[in-house]
Amino acid sequence: MRIILLVALTALAGCALGQHDHGVRSRFFNQPVDHFNPFDRRNFDQRFLENSEFFQDGGPIYIYLTVGERFFGVYDTFITSGLVYDIAEETNGLLIAIEHRYFGVSRPTVDTSFQNLQWLNIHQTLADVARFIAHLKENRPGAENSRVILWGRGYGGSLAIWARQKYPHLIDGAWGSSAVLDATVEYPQALANAYTTVNNIGGPECAAVIRGAFEMIDEAFMEGNTSYVQERLRLCYDLDSGNVYDLARLDYSIALESYLFIQNARYPEIDEKCIIMTGLNTPDDPPLNPLDGFARWYIDDLQPNRDCFDYSNDAVTAQYTDPTWDSISTIDGRRQKLWLRCTQLGAFTTSEEGSDHPYGRRFDIRFFRRWCADAFGFETFTDPWFMQDFIGLTNEHFGGLNPKVYRILITQGEMDPLRTLSPLEDLNSQARVIVINLESFSRDMGSVSEVQDYPHLIEVKGIIREEILRWIQASEQEQPTPPPPTTTPPPIEPGRE
């Protein structure tokens, strides 16, 4: 077997990696486009980053899984600082980050057309990881007996856990920070969770502003007079209250941004923004109405530098339709991420009449099916059974909220609206789940010693470290598979088989 490692073009790596002096190298590993069809001989170069400053013979290998982004190099942060970096130092480990196929410069196909996206799926991605590890252990001096620990955030964390589940002979443990395991088509709970967080932290007055703002938008739609909405939300297109997809897109876009804010906020930030929305910081100039209050946060504070916003459905969909590499659709991976959602991950934050949150009620599943169909030019996405069947396979293959998996750890932030797509209690004594109080998405990446952290977060980081060290130790103590018997088996007599 051979391993093809191309030393990276320094031009690519240089700018992004220059700020550190940890010897991080950007390299490439040759992978088949299709792991499951030996007749398909095409291959591509998958990018990875490597930091070997601590590595000594037999030390563990820590692999960070992530979808790449335009600047994959930023992920050197995760292999040059933080919790796992510290653990690698303590254990003489090797640190690696692998770029997900179809993201960044890891491009298996000439473009991302519908036909060419068929190799973008979880199984091919996990096979990339497995093959990478097998070759690394075989070819890297000192790595043949190394234990392998995977980790990641969000979907990267899901991949880490699924990889451990699928390839336990190659992977000794996996930590998924804010990993989600339940692949469900519709996930309205995310918005209800976000709203509950605002209500609990910012208080009912703040939640009422959000509710009131969406009610005003809805009334404007129904009356057919959207001039105030248009002006206060700084829209740069003519809102057509006869176009259901435009109305759905507007509600969805605003709801999504508010929800993403909560997903990434630190606890005090929610309070700060609520003070802006309710006007407590401007007693002489209180908000004129709920929409004004909401816009003081959403427009004036959150996105002050944008001239205006185009949420028309055609304009937004157009940002996902260009299959060429380096286009607006692909450069940050938004088309690829949408593909993963439309075909395997789902979790569309739907909203309809009777939904348990106030973020509008116009983006039901038909809106998302239309989006998938338009983005990929494949009308079958609009069939009600289609996404259900395909996305359902993910849980069928990995067990959804009840996977049979050991030596894994899932950590969730109590404020993360996606946390309920993960088990929230231990799966078994070797598959623990920890929900971190008053924290949002993946706040547990940093060193244990970060001083600004709340005590519970510091405590959880200590547990993450202990778990990882325990997996390595347990794995090293496992009896190796006995070698095959050396005695020659008796020859098979011809004709007796």
For residue 162, give the amino acid letter. W
- Write the binding mask 253 to 282 for ligand NAG: x where contact by CB under 6 A, - elsewhere: ------------------------------
Q: How far is the CB of 220 from ligand NAG (least distance, A)?
A: 8
Burial of 449 (0-12, 13-18, 19+ CB in 10 A): exposed
**Phi, psi for 477 (deg, rounded to 5):** -85, -15
Q: How far is the CB of 228 from ligand NAG (least distance, A)?
A: 4
Distance of CA 388 to the CA centre of its chain: 21
List residues bridging with 30 in a β-sheet: 45
Q: Which of 455, 419, 413, 454 is nearest to 436 (CA)?
A: 413
d(CA 464, CA 447): 11
Q: How far is the CB of 387 from ligand NAG (least distance, A)?
A: 39
d(CA 197, CA 204): 10
When the beta carbons of 230 and 395 are compared against ligand NAG, the nearer one is: 230
Stretch that binds ligand NAG, among 10-18, 23-31, 62-70, 224-232 (CB under 6 A): 224-232
When the beta carbons of 43 and 225 are compared against ligand NAG, the nearer one is: 225
**Sheet holding 408-413: strands in order across?**
5-7, 25-32, 43-51, 94-99, 61-66, 148-153, 173-177, 408-413, 431-436
d(CA 293, CA 414): 26
427 and 409 Cβ atoms separated by less than 8 Å:
no
The pair of structure tokens assigned to 466 is 């202990």
238 lies in the site for ligand NAG, by CB under 6 A = no
Residue located via tokens 């590595």: 55
Q: How far is the CB of 190 from ligand NAG (least distance, A)?
A: 31
The only residue of 12, 30, 228, 237 in contact with ligand NAG, by rule CB under 6 A: 228
When the beta carbons of 228 and 237 are compared against ligand NAG, the nearer one is: 228
**Phi, psi for 341 (deg, rounded to 5):** -70, -45
d(CA 311, CA 226): 14
When the beta carbons of 223 and 284 are compared against ligand NAG, the nearer one is: 223
The pair of structure tokens assigned to 194 is 């976000």
- Write the binding mask 180 to 219 for ligand NAG: x where contact by CB under 6 A, - elsewhere: ----------------------------------------
Dihedral (CA of 372, 378, 384, 390) sign? negative
Is residue 405 classed as helix, strand or coil in its secondary structure?
coil
Alpha-helix residue ranges (DSSP H) falling in 50-188: 76-80, 83-91, 122-139, 155-166
Q: How far is the CB of 234 from ligand NAG (least distance, A)?
A: 16
When the beta carbons of 289 and 395 are compared against ligand NAG, the nearer one is: 289
225 lies in the site for ligand NAG, by CB under 6 A = yes
406 lies in the site for ligand NAG, by CB under 6 A = no
Contact residues for 418 (Cβ-Cβ < 8 A; gap 6+): 154, 178, 180, 187, 190, 193, 263, 347, 441
Stretch that binds ligand NAG, among 83-91, 220-228, 342-350, 371-379 (CB under 6 A): 220-228
378 lies in the site for ligand NAG, by CB under 6 A = no
When the beta carbons of 220 and 316 are compared against ligand NAG, the nearer one is: 220
Q: How far is the CB of 467 from ligand NAG (least distance, A)?
A: 57
The pair of structure tokens assigned to 437 is 């109080």
When the beta carbons of 231 and 271 are compared against ligand NAG, the nearer one is: 231
Q: How far is the CB of 223 from ligand NAG (least distance, A)?
A: 7
When the beta carbons of 227 and 479 are compared against ligand NAG, the nearer one is: 227
d(CA 166, CA 397): 10
The only residue of 227, 305, 481, 487 in contact with ligand NAG, by rule CB under 6 A: 227
Stretch that binds ligand NAG, among 44-52, 91-99, 223-231, 401-409 (CB under 6 A): 223-231
Q: How far is the CB of 34 from ligand NAG (least distance, A)?
A: 57
56 lies in the site for ligand NAG, by CB under 6 A = no
Q: How far is the CB of 373 from ligand NAG (least distance, A)?
A: 35
When the beta carbons of 110 and 288 are compared against ligand NAG, the nearer one is: 288
Residue located via tokens 């005590």: 455
Q: How far is the CB of 214 from ligand NAG (least distance, A)?
A: 16
Q: Report how many residues bind ligand NAG under the rule CB under 6 A.
A: 3
230 lies in the site for ligand NAG, by CB under 6 A = no
Task: Give the footprint of ligand NAG on this chain (CB under 6 A).
Answer: 225, 227-228
